[in-house]
Amino acid sequence: MVFQRMTYFVAVVEEHNFLRAAERCEISQSAISQQIKALESKLGVALLRRVGRSFELTEAGQYFYTQSKAILQSVNQLSQETARIARQSRSPLRVGYLQTFGSRDFYKRLLPSPNASHRLT
């Protein structure tokens, strides 16, 4: 839940508008407002200083924003790199052998069916 609230907080700060942040996060405006309040409550500090219909970041809010943004970027990079590694691990298996060492027997065991497209030359 902390990562999700961090995402919401970063969106609010970057959009500087609760409605646009809510649209960006695909939740309601009241839900994003409640999540920011819950985050502040959990941390025990005010992250935003509300000024009418707008807000300013507190010193703690600026620190939390900077660190949250870095953490979320790091988690995103971690996810992308993990997926890239997984894609690379699916590389084809290449087997080397001497042609004079039972080529026909080797192909018989290697090929799935007699109609396979690989031909012994």
Lowest mean pLDDT among 3-12, 19-28, 38-47, 48-57: 48-57
Which residue did the predictor score with more confidence, 101 or 30? 30
Residue 112 has pLDDT above 50, yes or no: yes
Query: Is 70 exceeded by the pLDDT of residue 57?
Result: yes
Q: What is the pLDDT of residue 40?
A: 97
Topology (CATH level 3) of domain 2-88: Arc Repressor Mutant, subunit A (1.10.10)
Encoded tokens for 119: 């031909």
Question: What is the per-residue pLDDT for 121?
Answer: 45
Residue 72 near residue 7, CB atoms below 8 Å: yes
pLDDT range class, residue 114, cuts 50, 70, 90: low
Determine if the pTM surpasses 0.85. Answer: no
- Print the SS3 string covering 12-67: HHHHCCHHHHHHHHCCCHHHHHHHHHHHHHHHCCCCEEEECCEEEECHHHHHHHHH
Extents of the domains making up the chain: 2-88
Segment 40-66 mean pLDDT: 95
Averaged confidence pLDDT in the chain: 86
- Looking at residue 1, its pLDDT comes to 75
